[in-house]
Chain A
Amino acid sequence: MLDVQNLIKTFRTEGDTVTAVDNVSFTVAGGEFASIVGKSGSGKSTLLALLGALDTPTSGHIIIGDDDIAQLRDRALIEYRRSRIGFVFQSYNLVPNLSALENVMLPMEYAGLNPTERRKRAKKLLDQVGISDDKQVRKPGRMSGGEQQRVSIARALANKPKLILADEPTGNLDSENGKMVFDLLHKLAKSEHTTILVVTHDLDIAGRTDRTFRLVDGKLQKKK
């Protein structure tokens, strides 16, 4: 499903070059629930950003289906971000002046879905992640962190992506809410046959995924 080959990302800052992702290669099968662990600054977020086409690699290949994401340009990249992946961020990143429902509808609007369909699907997704009707019309500022992260998972699922990328989705949550969010992701991976790649600090969580990749200074150390 996902085939990463010799992926390298270097940042150039004032003469200094940092190789955040250093020749990483791995594959993840469809429907697999995998985790990436590693110390702070080991390149986890950078790797995820490359996989999500939020940033372009210095070299290497990211093959999903028949496409090499590293070779895609402009419209194809937008299309890829829009409907082939779903991103979940550590700090939720919901649009603050839109309600939960409107936030979930946003990617569908970008994908050109008609308004009635959008609303119907957004409501269904929010129901699935356990956001009640009265909370669906609330703005993010008036929801708890756990609720916001569940809205953001619903948003990631909006255009039925085959791959979900989550960067420390439980990082800002207490253990109870963290567990709830994790279980939600786990359930999705199983029921929808969605591939999930989750970055986490929490070894407990990592231990419950199908597979764990460990990054050390940008290099991958396969565990197990």
Chain B
Amino acid sequence: MNLFSRGVRNAFRNTIRTSSIVIILALSIGLTIAMLAARQAVTDKIASVKSSVGTTISISPAGFRGFEGGGTALTSAQLAKAAATAHITKVTQMLNDRLSANNTSLQSAIEAGVLGQRFGSSSGTDTVPQLPADTNTSSSTDTTVTTRSFTPPVTVTGANDLTGTAAFGGSTAKITSGSSIDASSNEDIALVGKALAAKNNLSVGSTFTAYGATITVKGIFDTGTTVGNGGVIVPLATLQRLSSQAGSVTSAVVTVDSLDNLSSTTTAIKTALGSAADVTNSQDLADQTVQPLESVKNISLFSLVGALVAGAVIILLTMMMIVRERRREIGVMKAIGASNVTIMAQFIVEALTLTVLGLILGTLVGVAAASPVTKTLVTNSSSSQTQSFGGAPGGSLPSTARPAGGPGLRTFGHANSQTLGNITASVGGGTLALGVVAALCIAIIGSAVPSFLISKIKPAEAMRSE
């Protein structure tokens, strides 16, 4: 029997109180650990998003809103001027167009779906609702079309460079059969997305018609996204010729040699192009993308501090209550020769016992809660972010350049929250160590004031009879 075992034993003098305190502490420590893990996960994610977006600058015509219209296409001449800027390693120019039933033999691989019906049928560029080829316009008896059927068009992207991810809407594409095409050529050749190929029974060597020309499939690619796999990619010159848009470019992606030169190059290009183009660099985009994560980081920090403070306050109040209750006993200990330090140490052991129990239970809570809490935080804040994107003019969003089938703007937020939502938090050694430190802080703060109270109790307290 010594000071230490007495401290531990005293922690269990009132089992009901001990259990409640331990549970509350466990929740507070669990939350602290979960928040530490969330913060770590989010920090890692931000770093990985920022490093993955690379050093690119997106250029799109000013006011351009993808297939929703707006803006005047840029010209290759303008871009050549921009490309003259220093530090640029590559300029990928792209022209996007849409093929509908009246100018291609291809059928879209993308089902319109409920949203497609809703948005597509009211789409500004698509004034004539497209009826599926197999349903004949047999409404000879009907004069009014009751159900407006809509088939998404096939997106065709003309690009002068296929080496990066730009032509594939930012996704990394794999050629699953055949081979890539020479993007600088002017031949009637194409790469088709996996889904589109399947829908139209296309394989390497097959042909399809578009703009009245016969185009040969040279390769099939897989981007891993439904929208990307539904597209067609042709050399830029080919598309400019076939769609009678000589020299037009709807977007360009400039690759800069290093992150350090990104912002200066962006400014230079902005100056070169003036008001004709919206210029955004990948880090700006990354910043926008990780903005919800930054807010999660803040939320997790506040919750972390809040949970810690709550834990410390709980222990503090508990220990103050215990010291008050045992005033007389403390007086007796002093009367029989205990020093203040000895008594304080015993009470600190008691506080530590409660905290360690809370820590053990709290670690379980934290480990169990880390991932769900992180997911919830990220999903909630990125979906609120999506809403604010929806309401804002989308001209500056370079993502419209992706070979997307549906209304590009609206899919952005979705894709965004999907990427960010794909986040897992795990409680690692570092987080646990921090959790232990946090628990120790709780115990120390929680013991400091009671210790002071202990030092103030007179041994004569033992004389009081109740």
Binding site for B on A (CB under 8 A): 45, 48-49, 52-55, 75, 78-79, 81-83, 87, 89-91, 93, 95-98, 102, 105-107, 109-111, 115, 155, 159, 167
Contact = CB atoms under 8 A, between A and B. Distances in A.
B336 A54 contact: no
Interface of B: 1-3, 6, 9-10, 13, 328-329, 331-339, 342, 458-460, 462-463, 465-466
A112 B13 CA distance: 26
Given A53-B459, A54-B463, A82 B329 contact: no
B338 A87 contact: no
Contacts of B338: 78, 106, 110
Contact of A54 (B335, B339, B466): B335
A95 B328 CA distance: 10
Contacts of B9: 97
A29 B145 CA distance: 122
Nearest to B461: A54
Contacts of A89: 332, 462-463
B405 to A, nearest CB: 74
B22 to A, nearest CB: 18
A111 B337 contact: yes
A159 B337 contact: yes
A98 B10 CA distance: 10
Given A55-B458, A95-B329, A97-B9, A107 B336 contact: yes
B342 A110 contact: yes
21 contacts: A49-B463, A52-B335, A52-B459, A54-B331, A55-B458, A55-B460, A75-B339, A78-B337, A78-B338, A81-B336, A82-B336, A83-B337, A87-B335, A87-B336, A91-B466, A95-B332, A97-B13, A107-B337, A110-B339, A115-B2, A159-B337
B16 to A, nearest CB: 15
B463 A98 contact: no
A42 to B, nearest CB: 15
Contacts of B339: 75, 78, 110
Given A78-B337, A93-B328, A97-B9, A109 B463 contact: no
A93 B462 contact: yes
Which 7 A-B pairs give the minimum distances between C-beta atoms?
A82-B337, A54-B459, A55-B460, A54-B460, A110-B337, A93-B332, A107-B336
Contacts of A115: 1-2
A155 B336 CA distance: 9
Contacts of A109: 1-3
Nearest to A106: B336
A110 B337 CA distance: 6
Given A49-B463, A54-B458, A55-B458, A81 B332 contact: no
Contacts, number: 76
A54 B334 CA distance: 8
Nearest to B5: A102
A98 B466 CA distance: 21
A5 B254 CA distance: 99
Nearest to B1: A102
Contact of B1 (A55, A78, A98, A167): A98
B17 to A, nearest CB: 14
B6 A81 contact: no
A160 to B, nearest CB: 13
A104 B333 CA distance: 12
Given A87-B336, A106-B336, 4 more contacts: A49-B460, A52-B459, A54-B331, A81-B337
Of B3, B328, B332, B458, most buried by chain A (CB within 10 Å of CB) is: B332
B1 to A, nearest CB: 5
A91 B465 CA distance: 7
A82 B342 CA distance: 13
A82 B459 CA distance: 12
A121 to B, nearest CB: 14
Nearest to A108: B337
Contacts of B463: 45, 48-49, 54, 89, 167
A105 B1 contact: yes
Contacts of B466: 91
Contacts of B2: 109, 115
Contacts of B331: 54
Contacts of B328: 93
Contacts of B6: 98
Contacts of B3: 109
A102 B5 CA distance: 12
B149 to A, nearest CB: 81
Contacts of B1: 98, 102, 105, 109, 115
Nearest to A165: B335
A97 to B, nearest CB: 5
A48 B463 CA distance: 10
Contacts of B460: 49, 54-55
Nearest to B9: A97
Nearest to B332: A93
Contacts of A52: 335, 459
A81 B459 contact: yes
B334 A81 contact: yes
A151 to B, nearest CB: 13
